[in-house]
């Protein structure tokens, strides 16, 4: 793998545009080649005004000198988009679905700190609905890894070889409901402004319908961040979340939690399921 060192965080708009224009020409498959480049931003400082906007839209307390556990994903997003919008990334950016994230935070992250940020594509893998890419994001202070994540993104397409039958999945019993949240229709646009993720499936019903959704859907990372803001997260620990079904906007969802588990539901439909553990393994 080759490291490419960047002088500043790249602007998102050109990569989102490039990714949209190239999407119709992509031919996704799990054995395709993918970029073997790790993008590195060696001296990242957090924009505190943008951080505060993110904290407000996700429900985190503002003003603390500590990054929310999900915020480094936002910092790494422009680097991920640079990789995933390129000609050598085989999955179409438009319609790409974030399916899971696992986060390990090794120590508290001061908002005023200086970090080395890196992002790379780790692998492609077959999925019963298409091809899934794993993207790894990491933050270091000196030689120490202080935060890292693995996200999976699914490109849906016709399977050319018969996949193994998926094991029958029995949904877990609902967790005790703790809150009901009425989500406004502009949540996707507000989160896009704070995070930079302007995927059209999140912004407006008309653009969401182009990808088969009846209305705009909430960002997966907004739903997990909103759950973690309610749950509370330790300064050191492991978070895992799966995005099971889209949250339509506007809409009403129920937040539940018990022990180390949290979830977001709409009746019997499970949208997000996750766990929080207090120490990395």
Binning pLDDT at 50, 70 and 90, where does residue 161 land?
low
* Percentage of the chain lying above the pLDDT 70 cut: 95
Task: Identify the top-confidence range among 26-35, 93-102, 133-142.
Answer: 133-142
Q: What is the pTM of this model?
A: 0.91
* pLDDT score of 97: 86
Q: Tokens for 207, please give them.
A: 């653009």
Mean pLDDT for the stretch of residues 218-244:
95
Q: What is the 3-state secondary structure (H, E, C) of the chain?
A: CEEEECCCCCCHHHHHHHHHHHHHHCCCCCCCCCCCEEEEEEEEECCHHHHHHHHHHHCCCCCCCCCCCCHHHHHHHHHHHHHHCCCCCCCCCCCCEEEEEEEEECCCCCCCCEEEEEEEEEEEEEECCEEEEEEEEEEEECCEEEEEEEEEEEEECCCCCCCCCCCCCCCCCCCCEEEEEEECCCHHHHHHHHHCCCCHHHCCHHHHHCCCCCCCECCHHHHHHHHHHHHCCCCCEEEEEEECCCCECCEEEEEEEECCEEEEEECCEEEEEEEEECCCC
């Amino acid at each position: 793998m080759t490291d490419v060192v960047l002088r500043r965080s790249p602007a998102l708009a050109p990569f989102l545009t490039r990714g949209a224009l190239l999407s119709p020409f992509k031919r996704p498959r799990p054995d395709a080649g993918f970029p073997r480049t790790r993008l590195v931003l060696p001296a990242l400082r957090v924009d505190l005004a943008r951080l505060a906007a993110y904290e407000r839209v996700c429900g985190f307390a503002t003003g603390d000198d500590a990054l929310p556990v999900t915020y480094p994903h936002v910092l790494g997003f422009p680097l991920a988009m640079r990789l995933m919008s390129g000609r050598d990334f085989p999955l179409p950016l438009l319609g790409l679905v974030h399916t899971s994230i696992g986060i390990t935070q090794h120590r508290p992250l001061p908002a005023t700190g200086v970090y080395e940020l890196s992002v790379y594509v780790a692998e492609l893998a077959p999925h019963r609905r298409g091809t899934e890419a794993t993207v790894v994001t990491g933050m270091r202070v000196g030689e120490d890894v202080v935060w890292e994540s693995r996200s999976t993104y699914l490109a849906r397409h016709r399977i050319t070889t018969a996949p193994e039958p998926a094991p029958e999945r029995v949904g877990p019993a609902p967790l005790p409901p703790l809150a009901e949240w009425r989500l406004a229709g502009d949540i996707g646009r507000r989160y896009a402004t704070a995070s930079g993720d302007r995927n059209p499936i999140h912004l407006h019903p008309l653009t969401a319908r182009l990808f088969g959704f009846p209305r705009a859907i909430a960002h997966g990372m907004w739903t997990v961040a909103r759950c973690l803001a309610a749950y509370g997260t330790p300064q050191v620990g492991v978070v895992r979340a799966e995005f099971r079904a889209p949250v339509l906007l506007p809409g009403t969802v129920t937040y539940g939690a018990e022990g180390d588990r949290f979830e977001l539901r709409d009746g019997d439909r499970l949208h997000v399921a996750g766990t929080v553990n207090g120490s990395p393994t």
